Homo-oligomer: A and B are copies of this chain.
Amino acid sequence: MDGMTSAVQDYAKAIYALEQRGTTTVSTNAIAGRMGVTAASASSMVKRLDGMGLVTHVPYRGVQLTDAGLKVALEVLRHHRLLELYLAETLGVPWDRVHDEAEVLEHVLSEELEELIATKLGDPTHDPHGDPIPTRDGHIAEAPTTALDDLGPGARGTFVRVSDSDPEMLRYLAERGIAPGHRLEVIEKQPFDGPVFVRFGKDVHVLGGGLARSMRVQED
């Protein structure tokens, strides 16, 4: 299993993330969007991944991770999330910036270092965004989440993460005292794609647009 470049790992991770978002098969355009490349680039890369046996690709119909591909994705994800936690805990990297640091480190982390870090952290199960960390042998406790935007009034749950860990959003939310792990209740949702009124603790916040669509909630 060679040819395992950073790009290949990133695509596997992206496809995994997209598969989690409901759709069983993932479109080329979705991959391109997430990777920030053109559809043409994504298409040719998908062909490579298929050749490597990491995905099954039915032209014009979409792509799906194979077991081998899933393994790759989860390994990178484990690296990523362990690093996020490590950077936040032991080096005091501001928690809205650990994502970007981890993004580049994840590809060069040796298995040996991964092991040392995991041990040092006490084999943690969740990263600082509230995301579960895959185990060494590729298992993950992925509780299903819903976009805050899709919840109706009365819904209760835990704010789990911001998809893609967008630092801007994380900072914005942090400024108003909102962070992954916090309990919430939806008070009201304006129609016509309008904002949602959410209670965090005592405070009610109005969240709309991209924000409410990116915030993932684990419902009770």
Binding site for B on A (CB under 8 A): 87, 90-93, 97, 101, 104-105, 108, 110, 112-113, 116-117, 120
Return 19 A-B CB contacts under 8 Å, by A number.
A87-B113, A90-B90, A91-B113, A91-B116, A91-B117, A91-B120, A92-B116, A93-B112, A93-B113, A93-B116, A97-B112, A101-B110, A101-B112, A101-B113, A104-B108, A104-B110, A105-B105, A105-B108, A108-B108
Supply 10 further A-B pairs (C-beta < 8 A) apart from A97-B112, A105-B105: A87-B113, A90-B90, A91-B113, A91-B117, A93-B113, A93-B116, A101-B110, A101-B112, A104-B108, A104-B110
By secondary structure, the A interface counts as: helix
Q: Give min CB distance, A164 to chain B, whole Å.
A: 19
In the complex, how many angstroms separate the beta carbon of A106 from the nearest chain B beta carbon? 10
- List 9 A-B pairs, minimum CB-CB distance, nearest first: A104-B108, A91-B116, A108-B108, A105-B108, A101-B113, A101-B110, A92-B116, A91-B120, A93-B116
Question: What's the Cα separation between A101 and B112 when bound, in Å?
Answer: 9
